[in-house]
Amino acid sequence: MSKLDRWMREIFRQNRQNRQKIKRSTLRWLPIVLGFLLLTSGVLAFSIVSSQAQVSQAASLKLTVTPNPPQLGDTLTAIVSSPNSSSNSSLNTQPPVIQSGNQTYPAYPIGNGRFRAFIPTTPLTPPGKLQIQAQMGNERQSISLNLRSRSFPTQRIWLPEGQDGNVSDWEFDQVDAFKKTVSPEKFWSGPFRRPNNGPVSSIYGIRRYYNGVFADDYFHRGVDYAGNQGSAIVAPAAGRVTFIGYEKDGFKVHGNIIGMDHGQGVLSVFLHLSRIQVKRGDFVKAGQTIGLLGDTGAATGPHLHWGLYVNGQAVDPTPWRDPGFE
């Protein structure tokens, strides 16, 4: 064997030994490396899960309802907000879905990523547990309240002959259609004003007998003011006149009537007027004279009946005057 052959064989032998050393070294460190990788991936996975949990918690929906507890006749205010709504355009533009029972109530933005909905109650609403749910995107929240009962007085009303019968469905259909008005704009600002200076003769919620017969599903859907004949009736808040009816045109019960839209499902009706001084489509300011007090329709004497409707239901107007709803 030549020197060149021996030299080449020695080189190959040393290379083979080096490869074996590298292999043994790799096998010795491989478990440590794999363990480190597994530990690192576990920490990373935990960090990701923790971050997701923190985001989910931060993005949780917030629902508040006032007053708490409410009583029959109250207007409930439900405010929904999400801490991330200001940075999430979809949450910021899409209003939440607010439900109570089988009813869904519209919600409107009030700034800072918050939305508000009004939930009406009446003397006919069953007292007890009241569940309110809100859904905004994929988030949900609910609140249970105790709706307190309330004692309402009873009156006996005697109407002149001819005013307790022969009432057409047409008159009530017209007024009921107005009560369904919902517009997205908010026209009022602050507490509502007193619509007449006369003393209150009948409060909200009174149950009644008409000519000796109990009106089973009836309650006084407003407040009566026993002002002087022809005294001014003013708008309790800004709004648009969207309904007008006259006794001579068939409004035998309501008499001369004005319907006003204050926006976002809040409406006023003014009954028994002697004169109407606005027309349909007029926008009026709070405190502006809209008509004169009278005794038209089914009225036993001169007075103003002011009814306040929220999302189609007659609520107690008193809280809207004090403290008011901004």
Per-residue b or e along 228-256, where b marks 16 or more CB atoms closer than 10 Å to that residue's CB = eeebbbbbbbbbbbbbbbebeeebbbbbb
pLDDT at position 92: 52
Claim to verify: residue 178 and residue 254 sit in the same structural domain = yes
pLDDT at position 166: 58
Claim to verify: residue 215 and residue 69 sit in the same structural domain = no
The residue among 108, 124, 147 that closes a domain is 147
pLDDT at position 191: 98
**Band (2; pLDDT cuts 50, 70, 90):** very low
Total structural domains within the chain: 3
In a domain, 142, yes or no: yes
pLDDT at position 42: 47
Whether pLDDT at 17 is above 70: no
Q: What is the DSSP string of 173-209?
A: HHHHHHHT---S-B---SSPPPS-SSPEEE-TT-EEE
In a domain, 83, yes or no: yes
Claim to verify: residue 160 and residue 305 sit in the same structural domain = yes
Claim to verify: residue 255 and residue 106 sit in the same structural domain = no
In a domain, 223, yes or no: yes
In a domain, 326, yes or no: no
Claim to verify: residue 89 and residue 197 sit in the same structural domain = no
116: domain CATH number is 2.60.40.10
Least confident interval from 13-22, 81-90, 175-184, 307-316: 13-22
Distance, CA of 244 to CA of 260 (rounded, Å) = 9
In a domain, 267, yes or no: yes
Residue 88 phi/psi, 5-degree rounding, is -115, 105
Claim to verify: residue 256 and residue 133 sit in the same structural domain = no
**Higher confidence at residue 33 or residue 214?**
214
Nearest to 285 by CA among 182, 168, 188: 188
Distance, CA of 120 to CA of 72 (rounded, Å) = 9
pLDDT at position 79: 96
Claim to verify: residue 87 and residue 52 sit in the same structural domain = no
Claim to verify: residue 294 and residue 218 sit in the same structural domain = yes
pLDDT at position 159: 74
Q: Are strands 304-310 and 223-225 parallel, antiparallel or unpaired?
A: antiparallel
Q: Are strands 200-202 and 223-225 parallel, antiparallel or unpaired?
A: antiparallel
Q: Which residues contact 211 (CB under 8 A, 6 or more apart)?
A: 157, 158, 159, 164
Tokens of 236: 């309790």
pLDDT, tens only, 94-150? 899 999 999 999 999 999 889 999 999 999 999 999 999 999 888 999 999 999 999
The residue among 147, 163, 197 that closes a domain is 147
Nearest to 275 by CA among 299, 300, 247: 247
pLDDT, tens only, 256-306? 999 999 999 999 999 999 999 999 999 999 999 999 999 999 898 999 999
- The DSSP 8-state label assigned to residue 43 in this structure reads H
Model's pTM, two decimal places?
A: 0.78
Claim to verify: residue 317 and residue 234 sit in the same structural domain = yes
Query: In whole angstroms, how far apart are CA 79 and each of 1, 67, 205, 266?
Result: 98, 12, 27, 17
Q: Which residues contact 18 (CB under 8 A, 6 or more apart)?
A: none
Q: What is the DSSP string of 299-312?
A: -SSSBEEEEEEETT
Nearest to 159 by CA among 121, 208, 232: 208
Distance, CA of 82 to CA of 59 (rounded, Å) = 6
**Band (33; pLDDT cuts 50, 70, 90):** very low
Claim to verify: residue 197 and residue 242 sit in the same structural domain = yes
In a domain, 90, yes or no: yes
pLDDT, tens only, 187-213? 999 999 999 999 999 999 999 888 899
Helix (H/G/I), strand (E/B), else coil: 125? coil
Tokens of 106: 């519209």
In a domain, 214, yes or no: yes
pLDDT at position 94: 85
Distance, CA of 146 to CA of 122 (rounded, Å) = 14
315: domain CATH number is 2.70.70.10
pLDDT, tens only, 39-87? 444 433 434 333 333 333 344 889 999 999 999 999 999 999 976 655 4
In a domain, 81, yes or no: yes
| Range(s) of the domain holding residue 94 | 62-147
Claim to verify: residue 170 and residue 206 sit in the same structural domain = yes
The residue among 40, 58, 76 that closes a domain is 58
Q: Which residues contact 255 (CB under 8 A, 6 or more apart)?
A: 247, 271, 272, 273, 294, 295, 296, 297, 298, 299
**By CB neighbour count within 10 A (0-12 exposed, 13-18 middle, 19+ buried), where does 33 fall?**
exposed
**Higher confidence at residue 206 or residue 159?**
206
pLDDT at position 264: 97
Claim to verify: residue 179 and residue 275 sit in the same structural domain = yes
Whether pLDDT at 174 is above 50: yes
Start-end of H helices in the chain: 3-58, 89-93, 169-179, 318-321
